[in-house]
Structure 1
Amino acid sequence: MKDYRSTEEKYEYSPIMEEVYSEMLKRKRDNRTREGIETGKEPDGKTPFFDIFINHREKPYPIKLAMGIVESWMVTEPTMHDKEVLVGFPRPMRPIHEHFSIGLCRERHVLNHPSYADRKEELNALMTAMRPEFHPDEGKAAAALEESMFCTEEFPNANQLLWGALWHTGGYQGHTVPNYDILLTRGVGDVLRETRQRLAKETEEKKILMYKACEIILQGFGDWIKLQATAADKKAEDESDPVLKKRYLNAAQNCRDIAFDAPKTYYQAAQLTFFYNLWDANDCTGRTDQYLYPFFEKAVKEDRAFAEEVTASLMMKFYEHGVHNITVGGIIPETGEDAANDLTFLMLQILRRNHATHPRMSIRVNEKSDPRMLALAVQMWSEGMSDPTVASDSTIIPAFINNYGVEPKDAMNYSLLGCQELEIPGKSNFGCEDGVFNLAKVLEYTLNNGMDRYDNKAVLGLPLGKITDYETFDDLWNAFEKQIVFLTKRFCELCDVGQQIRAANYAKLVKTPFTEACLERGLNLDDGGAYYGYGCVETAGSSVTADSLTAIKKLVYDEKLISRHTLEAALAANFEGYEKERQLLLNRAPKFGNDNEEADEMAQRVLKLFWTEIKKYKSIRGMEYSGACSLLSGGLHYGEHTWASADGRFAGEPLGNSIGPRPGADTNGLTAMLNSVSKLPLDLGVGGTTCNIVIPTSTTSTPEMRKNIEDMIYTFLNNGGQLGQITTANLDDLVDAKAHPELHSDLIIRIGGFSIKFIELAEDEQDEIISRYSA
């Protein structure tokens, strides 16, 4: 029996699973596609949402939505691939589909598929005509509110300068983790019975509609599971090999057994987990090693080989369809003891064997953690992987309890989701995210009398003056603080209106019955149904803002090496003709990320100001906003719309995609960078605040080196760090991969929250990664 807790052991597929894996690789879509939902079969020409909404126009929207979701699955042909143990496959992409981010989505590109050729014009016209029916709230109120805040008769389109430059409001991803514990311990049928009991007693029309919609979803989900048995039955009928025939018959019986009843075996629990994850658009599955472990523990005593095969099958499905995040390790809430178990290590070893970008995995680390878990993670990084992400229990759990009032047992049960946001699984909706706010743009307004330098006309912030008007640094800081207060209020108001869109659109209807308190309250998950309803604000440009303020304080006000008028001229000219001043700003002023007290204190001050300010506001889900920073490639895009900054950065250059320093700013080594990050007020950033950690492969080549990395990461996580996402490569490899992509198909990197093969990145994203290694 292999000891998967050892880095020396490697998981190997059985011969039959090796065949299954090879066939899966032939079907698997590229990384970008798996980050979305188009991992199913080719479009099939069917129109379930159109059919339901046209044939039942008299019914309320939530009922039609629920009926449409169920119909979209029921008209999809049940699928089981050769020699597999798990049944199920995603729906084909169709012109209308639903997603937990916003509700119903219109996908006009699907109409170009041959299966829709005969109805393309008709469906295109219907898509436009029926738009109000598909979207009860299209965001007109949000647009009107933003116009009233910023547009004037002189500048009627001023608000167009905000989107993607200063902020993004109203949410865009919407990840949450449903309660898989409830699904597996109670089963679909028991939750359906509770829904019907609550419906029978309810008198409020809004809640009646919510219960009816959930009833339709649950009944439809169970019926659909039964239907999946036919795929396995067909396989068994056509199979002559008695071993495979039995395999298929068992799969079919599983489907019938778990359609409405709770699973009794690990095989059944894994199948039901996968089925529900399909309906949940392959979103995050939370602490999978915890809720599946009681089933797994029993299964390995009966047939270890098959238990491992089921685990491999589930992980393979999660790989093929791009599950966004799985959390393992951590603490057992009931005892406070280490939660890592044999399933934890087996799942990590399978991910290691696949050397894959999906499923993304995260490990929770604490002082009681089995040290072999972090050692295995370091081993995986040394082999070129960027998973797993590491999360600090010692930072996150007290922050949830002390700053946000989360009950200790729930705080100890937190999980990661999406691209490293944090949540209480099955019990919360933290927005993920309610919006993005670019601090560097706020400073741009502060130094330019409230105006965007790309426009220099419309006043978007407060007209408090230019850098030339601030006699002291305190004057400048006070003006910056006033801009933060002014813009944060408007930002949170717009985020709330945006979240009302999700609530009206029932975006998370499939998640709702399996999220605690939704049925009790009679509210959908986006409408305040979840037990915890905090807000989450992704924060862009914090290091650029802090370094700019540090440079101004030191070079303009303290040392007087650059005058205020000269700095104004240099910024306005994007440093053209002011290279001497730019070099002073770049090299004489200290930068965050180098364990420098002056620079680090400014970074703390900037984040504490903003994250304390947003905490004054509550989301429509009823609880305070929290800070976060996991920007995907947002640091690139917000940088494109942010003018030259006083840290020496040119207009349009990247801001950075994590809470760490701007690429190239940290020059004192990795330990110094981690020390700087660990000083930040991350207890206010429980939305999920990740740090990009670059580890050259040359530093991981021996056991002693890997142990040093392990100790460094452990120290970071237990001394104030929150989340770390890893990229291991060498600069030469990255440069060569850009020039010769065909030679580097297995080079995996991390970009602001998700893993991807380097060669699948756009050129500007490749350049941003290379810049991290060029410091």
Structure 2
Amino acid sequence: MYQFKPISERMQRMHQLIRDRVIQSDSETAMITTRCFQANENLIPYLRRPTVLKAICEQMTVRVEDFEMLVGNTSKNFCGTGYAPDWGGAGLLPFVIESGMWTLREDGLYHNPDDEELRMSIAPEDYENLKSITDYWKGRTYNDIAAAWQPKGYEELCRMNVSATLKGAPLLMMPSGHLTPGFKKIINVGYGAIRKQAQDWLDSHVNNLMGEDVNKNLFYTAAVLSCAAATSLLKRYSEKCLEKAASCTEAKRRAELESMADSLAWISENPCRTFREACQAAITYQYILRLSFIGDIGSFGRFDQYTWPFLKKDLEEGRLGMGEAQEIVDCFFMKINSMYGGGVIGVPGGGDLIKIIGIGNTYLHTTIGGVDPKTGEDASNPVTSMVLESLARLSLHDPTISLRVNKNTPAELWALALETSTKVGGLPLLQNDEIIIPGTMKELGFTLEDARDYAIIGCQEITGSGNDYSAANGVAPPHSSIHYSVLLDMAINDGKNPFNGEQCSIHTGYLYDMKSFDEVKEAWRILASYFIKAQVSLNNYLEYLVQYHTPHPMLSISLDGCMESGKDCTWGGAKYNSYGGTATGLATVADSLTAIKYMVFDKKLCTARELYDAVMANWEGYEPLRQQIINEVPHFGNADPYADEQMTWVINTYYNTCKECYSTRAKIFKAGLYGAADHVGQGYTTWATPDGRLAGTPIADAASPVQSRDINGPTAVFASSLCYDHTKFMDGVCLNIRLHPTALSRDDGIIKLRDMVKTYMDNGGAEAQFNVVSTEALHKAQENPDQYRNLVVRIAGYSAYFVELTRDCQNDLISRHENMI
């Protein structure tokens, strides 16, 4: 068994503060943003955004905690949150207070109700500040701009309730992003050199702007402002460290603060010199991106690859020991946890979306392991293991960690990864280089070297490292995915959604009038194609708005291609451009088709009318038929070709339609099979389905089998999952398997699991993740949450502390089949 290292006292303290947090909102960045908008109302958006960022970096409170060796914050309070009023929401918090939903308590703060999953608060003065700017932002937010006009077809898309696009819901809910920023450039080049490159272009083009030079002039001007903002903030952190050092009575800590001050001042302009500086530069850049209100970035990239050269040099030159380095890594990942601000920008607590995205999830996915981009040889290093150490020892559910594995991944790293999975459910995810590298070349047009350097973001999405504007969940999340199980109900109901009774413009006929199984499949295919393209059409309209109103100069300065071309990443300046969506729970569609084929057309065990009536009745009065379908009809996930045939067809149909979609910026619309906990959210508004599922209950999660329908063990799940070509799905694949802890309680259990996963991946599997927890333990955690406070589980696209999940998400996890090896 692997022996994990002890945790330092100050890291234990930091961890406890994060676990016990009550997220305190404040008005500081909202007020700075508002004042800056008021002073620059006529400034074009491309220059106004970095102007606002610069003001925030120059005026916001900077914090240096007593237990930190890496610094950074986005709000006045530790583990606090601010608001982006231009994105909306500034008036929502005053509303919940004035309505009595939040109450003033003895600590002098307003608090949300105790029965809400996420604990939040706000001081009265911050409430008054937010209230004072509410009127200014009425009609001025990005969503107000988007809501002023929509393309024809939008109304139908909303009315049919087949996606996250609903009437009254924000069209621009959050900033575009979903990619891996250029951390290597920030670390190895530095803000000073980037700013000089931009300024040199500007100086050489005074009174000489021809053709697209005007756009480039705007871009490079914004780049100069962005670099100046970053430099200002880092120097202010340096000054704060010196201020704290001056009053520090403990010699070792005082020396550390002085060293931190020197490093922060240095990296404000220059390339990094040490391991700590590389970690600090990466974490600060992410904080600055968040201050520029790019809250949906979703990645820290290949952390072990861009930091290891610095640690290697530190070790060789005697500046740092492995114990000190491990503490820096511990601090790095807890700083990520302290970035969590309570959900969607501007929405206290994340609203209903918290049921899908979970609590405490920053989605700052971090990738370790994999191969060297130039040689293709395994590139795992000591930092790779240190990341897993931090994850396991501190019981961190966030950020999600993906371990890239290949044919030469060391056995010791496999063992550590699987041992970590027994301590923190579902982490690390295992990503297969042998499938993803050729897949990104084939689907995304990456060169071999860039493909070898891929990183995972958000839930599962695959991107380039600092060279790819991937918009992997759509350019304006969450407008990127369709509820395919709803479409199946519509396909057998003449295009009408039985959940809300709305009729779409396409009439497919009724199941009982269909003469062949091919007619059933064709009805679903027609609807899937129509609504995928409807959703992508809306996304393309929003991309137009994003390019003008919400571009990303602070992000663009680090992405390969943007500084070279003088184009913002949202304009297509990055080396690679794509966008994409995901199909959550296609196993529900596939199992439903299998049930129709088996029961009606092949075995003739019931009539089409009988099955149709049973589904439309939500199975009331048809329980014997429902049980027959559940227990007799083959299901995906059991290595049964009869069922797997339908999953193959459904997935390929989805993929083929994605290949027909594109925008002005990106000719590639990627297909994905992931989805946070959207399978639970989609289930709430999906009527009963022909596979025996009841209305309102979860659909299958991500690319996994329907809950409890996989009964032949994990090898059968893997075999079924290979029924389609994983290299096609370069927006990411998510396969969840739950294992009983006894399966890994002996050393040979770890070896068996490793060999089983390697066999799966050798045969074409792209990804796998495991929950190692018993049903008994999950029930006990529901009954005694305090005793299981640090139990981490994997839902689909994120991990979470089990006791912080909604009861529906908890029950969904319990319902999944418990496998033995």
TM-score by length of 2: 0.86
Aligned to 1:353: 393
Alignment of 1:92-131 (within 5 A): 92=76, 96-97=83-84, 104-109=87-92, 111=94, 117=124, 123-124=130-131, 126-131=133-138
Alignment of 1:291-690 (within 5 A): 291-301=306-316, 302=318, 303-305=320-322, 306-321=324-339, 324-434=364-474, 435-456=480-501, 458-460=502-504, 462-506=506-550, 508-690=552-734
Deviation at 1:649, TM superposition (A): 0.9
Report the CA distance shift for 1:571/1:486 in structure 2 as closer, same or farther (over 3 A).
Answer: same
Separation (CA, whole Å) in 2 of partners of 1:627 and 1:658: 12
Alignment match of 2:3 (pick from 5, 9, 18): 9
Separation (CA, whole Å) in 1 of partners of 2:34 and 2:622: 60
Deviation at 1:63, TM superposition (A): 2.1
User: Is the aligned partner of 1:61 residue 2:76?
Assistant: no
Aligned to 2:100: none
Paired residues of 2:737 and 2:770 also in contact (CA < 8 A)? yes
SS of equivalent to 1:82: coil
1:382 aligned partner, one-letter code: T
Deviation at 1:625, TM superposition (A): 1.0
Aligned to 2:356: none
Report the CA distance shift for 1:168/1:540 in structure 2 as closer, same or farther (over 3 A).
Answer: farther
1:398 aligned partner, one-letter code: P
Separation (CA, whole Å) in 1 of partners of 2:148 and 2:633: 45
1:187 aligned partner, one-letter code: G
Deviation at 1:727, TM superposition (A): 1.1
Alignment match of 2:743 (pick from 664, 682, 699): 699
Separation (CA, whole Å) in 2 of partners of 1:123 and 1:376: 48
Separation (CA, whole Å) in 2 of partners of 1:590 and 1:147: 38
Report the CA distance shift for 1:532/1:693 in structure 2 as closer, same or farther (over 3 A).
Answer: same
Which piece of structure 1 moves more, 266-275 or 608-617? 266-275
Report the CA distance shift for 1:557/1:141 in structure 2 as closer, same or farther (over 3 A).
Answer: farther
Deviation at 1:276, TM superposition (A): 0.9
Aligned to 2:31: 47
Separation (CA, whole Å) in 2 of partners of 1:274 and 1:158: 42
Alignment match of 1:21 (pick from 11, 25, 33): 11
Aligned to 1:197: 200
User: Is the aligned partner of 1:240 residue 2:249?
Assistant: yes
2:321 aligned partner, one-letter code: R
Paired residues of 1:45 and 1:116 also in contact (CA < 8 A)? no
Aligned to 1:180: 183
Aligned to 2:54: 70
Separation (CA, whole Å) in 2 of partners of 1:216 and 1:268: 23
2:18 aligned partner, one-letter code: K
Paired residues of 1:400 and 1:406 also in contact (CA < 8 A)? yes
Separation (CA, whole Å) in 1 of partners of 2:339 and 2:201: 35
Separation (CA, whole Å) in 2 of partners of 1:83 and 1:484: 53
Separation (CA, whole Å) in 2 of partners of 1:46 and 1:646: 49
Paired residues of 2:304 and 2:383 also in contact (CA < 8 A)? yes
Paired residues of 1:72 and 1:91 also in contact (CA < 8 A)? no
SS of equivalent to 1:138: helix
Report the identity percentage. Answer: 24
Report the CA distance shift for 1:393/1:160 in structure 2 as closer, same or farther (over 3 A).
Answer: closer
2:52 aligned partner, one-letter code: G
Deviation at 1:44, TM superposition (A): 5.0
SS of equivalent to 1:726: strand
Separation (CA, whole Å) in 2 of partners of 1:334 and 1:169: 42
Between the two proteins, the alignment pairs up a number of residues equal to 748
Separation (CA, whole Å) in 1 of partners of 2:326 and 2:788: 31
Aligned to 1:209: 218
Aligned to 1:153: none
Which piece of structure 1 moves more, 422-431 or 19-28? 19-28
Deviation at 1:217, TM superposition (A): 1.3
User: Is the aligned partner of 1:145 residue 2:152?
Assistant: yes
Q: What do residues 56-103 of structure 1 show as CA deviations (whole Å, max 9, x unaligned)?
A: 2232223222122222232222222225322333324676428xxxx7
Q: What do residues 345-376 of structure 1 show as CA deviations (whole Å, max 9, x unaligned)?
A: 12212222112112321100110111221211
Aligned to 2:756: 712
Paired residues of 2:29 and 2:60 also in contact (CA < 8 A)? no
Q: What do residues 688-717 of structure 1 show as CA deviations (whole Å, max 9, x unaligned)?
A: 111112111111111011111111122222
Alignment match of 1:81 (pick from 47, 65, 71): 65
Deviation at 1:292, TM superposition (A): 0.9
Report the CA distance shift for 1:177/1:61 in structure 2 as closer, same or farther (over 3 A).
Answer: same
Paired residues of 1:428 and 1:531 also in contact (CA < 8 A)? yes
SS of equivalent to 1:553: helix
Separation (CA, whole Å) in 2 of partners of 1:635 and 1:453: 19
Deviation at 1:240, TM superposition (A): 2.7
Separation (CA, whole Å) in 2 of partners of 1:444 and 1:581: 18
Alignment match of 2:261 (pick from 248, 252, 257): 252
Please list every run of 5 or more consecutive structure 2 residues that lacks an aligned counterpart in the other structure: 98-108, 111-121, 341-361, 475-479
Please list every run of 5 or more consecutive structure 1 residues that lacks an aligned counterpart in the other structure: 1-6, 151-156
Separation (CA, whole Å) in 2 of partners of 1:161 and 1:737: 34
Paired residues of 2:25 and 2:82 also in contact (CA < 8 A)? no
2:545 aligned partner, one-letter code: I
Deviation at 1:141, TM superposition (A): 6.4
Deviation at 1:624, TM superposition (A): 1.2
Separation (CA, whole Å) in 2 of partners of 1:163 and 1:562: 35
Paired residues of 2:163 and 2:483 also in contact (CA < 8 A)? no
Alignment match of 1:286 (pick from 284, 296, 301): 301
Aligned to 2:354: none
Paired residues of 1:450 and 1:465 also in contact (CA < 8 A)? yes
Separation (CA, whole Å) in 2 of partners of 1:679 and 1:170: 37
Report the CA distance shift for 1:565/1:745 in structure 2 as closer, same or farther (over 3 A).
Answer: same
Q: What do residues 545-589 of structure 1 show as CA deviations (whole Å, max 9, x unaligned)?
A: 111111111110111111111112111111111122212222221
Q: What do residues 411-433 of structure 1 show as CA deviations (whole Å, max 9, x unaligned)?
A: 11111111121111211122130
Deviation at 1:530, TM superposition (A): 1.9
2:455 aligned partner, one-letter code: S
Alignment match of 2:275 (pick from 244, 266, 271): 266
Report the CA distance shift for 1:623/1:577 in structure 2 as closer, same or farther (over 3 A).
Answer: same
Report the CA distance shift for 1:729/1:169 in structure 2 as closer, same or farther (over 3 A).
Answer: farther
Which piece of structure 1 moves more, 227-236 or 65-74? 65-74
1:304 aligned partner, one-letter code: G
1:317 aligned partner, one-letter code: K
TM-score by length of 1: 0.91
Aligned to 2:142: 135
Report the CA distance shift for 1:742/1:130 in structure 2 as closer, same or farther (over 3 A).
Answer: closer
Q: What do residues 579-635 of structure 1 show as CA deviations (whole Å, max 9, x unaligned)?
A: 222122222210001011111111011110111111111134322111112211110
Separation (CA, whole Å) in 1 of partners of 2:197 and 2:151: 41
